[in-house]
Amino acid sequence: MKLSDGEKLIILMLAELQKALNVNGEIDGAFVSEAIKRDKLWAINWQYQSIPFEPEDDPPAVKQTADILDMWMSIEEAYADLSEADKKRVAIEAEPFGTNVRFEGFDANHEDHYGIARFLVEDMHRYKYYAKRELNSHHSSVPAYLRMYRIFELMRRGLGNRRRLNANEIIHLLKEQVHHP
């Protein structure tokens, strides 16, 4: 979604009026205001999918963030279901990450994905799986996650709703965090 500065100002003023008059409508003025103020206009399309907005691709970082969050949720849920023997295998074979099979987040200082993830989780109430987590990794993580995702995307095609990742697949993905082509 693209809005001119004037359109943004008009929408923000209308949202203030909606709040001041205590009007409850289909459109949440507070949410729209936050999306505008935090430069997350893509979120308005996501939130109000029933409105026939002009088709527009999400910014690449938004798609990447959603893909990464999906991937890590699959990894963590699959790991939780592994037998103790398989968890030990993961710890040994995916060292140093094998004992910490948990999404660490994004670097809040240098990766736009952090702000996107926070907005998705806190403002849009998506990815509730991550709701009570600190999503700041304090180090660059996106390049490693994108390497992992390229492999996960191929694996996911074979998963469907039939099964979760197995120990070998988790090990392969975790090792990709330290793999540098």
- The tens place of each residue's pLDDT in the chain, 181 residues long, gives 889 999 999 999 999 999 999 998 899 999 999 999 999 999 999 999 999 988 888 999 999 999 999 999 999 999 999 999 999 999 999 988 777 899 999 999 999 999 999 999 999 999 999 999 999 999 999 999 999 999 999 998 877 667 899 999 999 999 988 765 5
- Identity of the residue numbered 76: E
Judge residue 40's burial from the number of C-beta atoms within 10 Å of its C-beta, 0-12 exposed, 13-18 middle, 19 or more buried: buried
Q: Which tens digits make up the pLDDT trace of 65-89?
A: 999 999 999 999 999 999 999 999 9
What ranges do the domains of the chain cover? 5-47, 60-175
What is the chain's length?
A: 181
SS3 95: coil
Cα 177 to Cα 103: distance, rounded to the nearest angstrom: 12
CATH topology for 60-175 is yfbu gene product, domain 2 (1.10.3190)
